[in-house]
Amino acid sequence: MEAHPAIKNEISRQDLSTEIGLDRAAEYLENSIQKVADIAIPRGNICYRSKPWWNDDIDKSREKLSQKRRIWKRERDTQSHRAYQSERNNYFSKIKTAKQGMWDSFLENAKGKEIFKAFQYIKHKKVERIPIIKYTKESEEVQALSFKEKSEAFLTTLFPKPPTTDPPNWENYQPSPKWEWPNIELEEIRTAIFCSSIKKAPGPDQISFKIIQQAFLAMPDIFYMIYSKLIEKGYHPKQWREAIGVILKKENTEKKRDYSMPKAYRVISLLNYLGKVAEKIIAIRLSYLAETTDLLFLEQIGGEEQDQPLTPH
């Protein structure tokens, strides 16, 4: 990453002992990765011919077909019409051959789980419109017809206000000597980044784990500078608290669901992956402490990744 020294200098200017400084450093890291990714990753121009089987031979045949069509429209005689029909048949024949060749090559070279992509390609895809949503608003039964009304229905029903509770009283709290919280190490950050799937959908920042992995390899010292302070201060930057909520239909079981009811849908949250790295580091440490300080029952085995206690390093 060519901008590595500039990024390091800019982050070093921030006061990482304060929440404002941590917010600015995290935002600068996020923006820098986005800018470098936009420069390094080419963007494809999506059009109706953006197909893996498209080749130069088909492109040339398409140009000839356009020429024959123009000649036929100008001349309007039998000979030009037959030439146009012949070129049109040749054009579609080349498309059919290219598709067949691409499909045969894919099936011959597919290995492991790649064969399941064939099912995805042939699976029938359909776009369904969300039906009229019925919900309760201010003690009245309301029907949501437009997109705006349906959005309000989902926000009202699927995003209720969180419960409130009194803050805990820490006056008489005494930490146990068993609870050790060592300083973060670079290997913990590396593990949190590289143990995550690169196929998941990114969050609002549009930065995938594949991009984060390459950024970490280019500037591990900057990642350590920021995440070590975040873990030490126990702070999560504001821009990493954003999420995209995607509303999906719940799977239809033996009992047919009524998709006019908001509760027949579920919400999944797409979080910023830079924030999930910090969450994963904390989760691994808490899992280790829970298993080594007798916080779990002896019969508790659900959710444990392995028989031996996890280590944060």
- Over residues 262-294, the pLDDT tens digits come to 888 888 889 999 999 999 999 988 888 887 777
302: Cα within 13 Å, side-chain hemisphere: 0
**Cα gap 57→108, rounded to integer Å:** 23
Distances (CA, A) of 55 to 51, 64, 159: 9, 15, 49
- Over residues 68-90, the pLDDT tens digits come to 999 999 988 999 999 999 999 99
Strand partners, 269: 245
Once rounded to an integer, what is the mean pLDDT over residues 117-143? Answer: 80
3-state helix/strand/coil string of 148-202: HHHHHHHHHHHCCCCCCCCCCCCCCCCCCCCCCCCCCCHHHHHHHHHCCCCCCCC
Over the chain, what is the mean pLDDT?
84
pLDDT at 177: 76
Look at residue 3 and tell me whether its pLDDT is greater than 70: no
Decide which of 232 and 175 is more confident. Answer: 232
Q: To which residue do tokens 């029909």 refer?
A: 85
| H or E segment and range at residue 133 | strand 133-137
pLDDT at 71: 93
Confidence band for 306, pLDDT divided at 50, 70 and 90: low
CB-CB contact of 95 with 55 (8 Å): no
Decide which of 49 and 227 is more confident. Answer: 227
CB-CB contact of 242 with 203 (8 Å): yes
**Cα gap 51→73, rounded to integer Å:** 29
| pLDDT > 70 fraction of the chain, expressed in percent and rounded | 90
Top mean pLDDT of 42-56, 67-81, 146-160 is at 67-81
